[in-house]
């Protein structure tokens, strides 16, 4: 079993490409393994409570968590999850916080997905990608930390990591319409207009799973 998670929409956006990709892969098979796609709420407290239970229930071979990074122009493979939450915007419950996620845990965990192998393979397939050293300090990082911490405590046999995705093209199209309607900001001042086709995102995540399973001997 491979677990793929994607967050629901947040920040006033109508859609989150992470949820779209998780749903698209749900029920598929990659490298002989079944994929379970799950949508997570943008709710810090609910995530911290429900994700460990989900991992204990499913006992996946690998976990690939997905999130949106507005303005990212490519597939972004996260290397490190910090034991720190500092929200610039509220989650969908209105929560704003700054705290250590788990005072009894290490300051950070490294992803156990083969990020270098995945990045190189994606580029060979014509899919732009890069490795990032930080998943931020919002729910994406908190989820990545929660998953790796739980799997580490369970013995560390599950490969875990996080992938940030760009906007969908239609989201950028809407941003452009909004900018034109506002008439207050020149396009070259915006840094969040990059996008990627959903088919390419799905292909990228499928390859990430396949490369991970290949490294595990599956």
The pTM (predicted TM-score) of the whole model is: 0.95
Give dist(CA 132, CA 116) in Å, integer: 11
* Residue whose C-alpha is closest to residue 74's, from 192, 166, 169, 193: 166
How much is the pLDDT for 184?
66
Domain CATH number, residue 44: 3.40.630.20
Range of the domain at 182: 2-215
DSSP string computed for 114-162: -HHHHHHHHHHTT--EEEES---SSHHHHHHHHHHHHHHHTTS-SEEEE
pLDDT digits (tens, 9 = 90+) for 125-182: 999 999 999 999 999 999 999 999 999 999 989 999 999 999 999 999 998 888 888 7
Q: pLDDT tens per residue, the chain (218 residues)? A: 999 999 999 999 999 999 999 999 999 999 999 999 999 999 999 999 999 999 999 999 999 999 999 999 999 999 999 999 999 999 999 999 999 999 999 999 999 999 999 999 999 999 999 999 999 999 999 999 999 999 999 998 999 999 999 999 999 999 888 888 877 667 766 777 899 999 999 999 999 999 999 978 64
Taking the C-alpha atoms of residue 186 and residue 171, their distance in angstroms, rounded to an integer, is 18
**Largest Cα–Cα separation, the chain:** 55
The catalytic residue positions are 78, 140, 164
Domain count, the chain: 1
């Amino acid at each position: 079993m491979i677990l793929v998670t994607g967050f629901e929409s947040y920040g006033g956006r109508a859609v989150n490409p992470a949820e779209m990709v998780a749903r698209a892969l749900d029920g598929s098979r990659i490298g002989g393994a079944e994929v379970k796609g799950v949508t997570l709420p943008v709710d810090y407290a609910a995530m911290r409570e429900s994700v460990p239970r989900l991992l204990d229930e499913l006992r996946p071979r690998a976990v690939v968590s997905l999130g949106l990074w507005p303005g990212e122009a490519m597939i972004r493979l996260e290397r490190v999850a910090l034991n720190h939450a500092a929200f610039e915007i509220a989650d969908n419950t209105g929560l704003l916080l700054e705290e250590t996620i788990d005072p009894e845990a290490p300051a950070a965990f490294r992803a156990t997905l083969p990020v270098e192998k995945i990045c190189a393979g994606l580029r060979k397939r014509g899919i732009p990608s890069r490795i990032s050293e930080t998943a931020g300090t919002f729910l994406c990082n908190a989820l990545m930390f929660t998953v790796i911490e739980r799997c580490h405590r369970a013995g560390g046999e599950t490969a875990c990591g996080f992938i940030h995705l760009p906007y969908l093209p239609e989201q950028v199209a809407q941003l452009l319409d909004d900018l034109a309607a506002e008439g207050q900001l020149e396009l070259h001042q915006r840094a969040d207009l990059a996008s990627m086709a959903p088919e390419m995102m799905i292909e990228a995540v499928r390859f990430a799973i396949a490369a991970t399973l290949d490294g595990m001997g599956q």
